[in-house]
Amino acid sequence: MQDSIRLFVAALLPEALKTQLEEQLAPFRHPSVRFVPSSNLHLTLYFIGNVPVQQLSAFQEKIQEVAARHAPFTLNYACTEPGPNQRRPRLVWARFEAHEAFSALSDELTTALATHPPKRRKAIPHVTLARFRKDVPLPEVLPIVRAEAPLALGVQEVALWQSELASPHPVYSVLKTFRLG
């Protein structure tokens, strides 16, 4: 039996938005880029990490309490770009515009779920679409792609996800969803 479980809290993406975001990846086709499977796309709010299986229900209760205190909100897509550091990117992400409600929800989840006092960080609303391979040089030019039509993500609920490390990609599964408000 498994002693611990790897967890994170994230918003689910509608299939139509996943398709629209994946369409933004055409300029990033290169041997150094590994695309994230569509089934793994999500908007991370807080990565919890490994926790004892016996604590799963306690984490679910905390997430439920936090979710109940936050109203639904909508994030507007900004662009698809290399990140988080433009000079030494690790990934390609669909970055959304900063939003006070996202920041407040992410901060409260971090405070409620962190097993150690969290480092101060500014949560950036994003969806990781691809990762750069470490064994292949990056392309010389890394584009910034903007959608032709506005894209938005309505966040009505959050989910507790399990992450199982596997190759070539981890396997993510939703354990439970929690309505906001």
Active site residue 42: yes
**Which residue in 70, 99, 126, 169 is the catalytic one?**
126
**How far from each other are the two terminal CA atoms of the chain, in whole angstroms?**
36
- Beta bridge partner(s), residue 147: none
**Which residue in 42, 70, 116, 169 is the catalytic one?**
42
- Token code pair at residue 178: 């929690």
- Beta bridge partner(s), residue 73: 155
> Which has the closest alpha carbon to 154: 22, 43, 37, 66?
43
Active site residue 126: yes
Distance, CA of 154 to chain centre: 14
Active site residues: 42, 126
